[in-house]
Amino acid sequence: MPSTDPGSSARASRCGAWRRSWPATSDSIPEIRRAVSRYARAAGASPRALQKMRLAITEATTNVVLHAFPAGTPPGEITVYADLLDDEHLRIVIGDDGHGIQMRRASPGLGLGLPLMAEFSAEMEIIAGPDGGTDVRMDFPLAA
């Protein structure tokens, strides 16, 4: 996962960068959402910003569970990284160690997840690893 400058604010030093991994299963999704919400709340995210972050996190982690690991293979891990970029923005990275992002014509979903994540974040980037795995980096304003 990319490293970031945690910023020089008192809030950034109080929260610090945070990273944790979970099994890439549907049972992990609510736990991930709650853990990142606690971090974002401590970082000063507004209730509206928290709502947008939760929806984007749910979409990103659901995409990992549904798409990162081919049928018949054991699930890998979802790694979540969060850090304040400055006094006004929080970066959240949802990563996996799956087979990498692939464009597919037939998908089990409606195809609304990526546009939704992009709409709710100030910036979003999908970073494919050279040997598989994908990171979805989203930067959110704390006061949305």
Model pLDDT, residue 111: 62
Q: For residues 66 and 7, which has the higher predicted lDDT (pLDDT)? A: 66
* Dihedral pair phi/psi, residue 134, rounded to 5°: -145, 140
Q: Where are the alpha helices (DSSP H) in the chain?
A: 10-15, 28-43, 47-67, 113-120
Q: Say what the pLDDT of residue 57 is.
A: 96
Tell me the CA end-to-end span of the chain in Å, nearest whole number: 25
- The answer regarding whether domain 10-141 maps to CATH 3.40.50.2020 reads no
Quick one: tokens of 17?
């960068």
The position carrying tokens 């690991």 is 69
Q: Considering the entire predicted model, what is its pTM?
A: 0.82
| Secondary structure, 3-state, 81-93 | EEEECCCCEEEEE
For residue 134, give the amino acid letter: T
Q: Which of 59-63, 105-109, 115-119, 128-132 has the lowest mean pLDDT?
A: 105-109
For residue 56, count other CB atoms closer than 10 A to its CB.
25
Copy the structure tokens of residue 136. Answer: 């979805």
The Cα–Cα gap between 105 and 109 comes to 11
pLDDT value at 72 more than 90: no
In angstroms, the CA 55 to CA 39 distance is 15
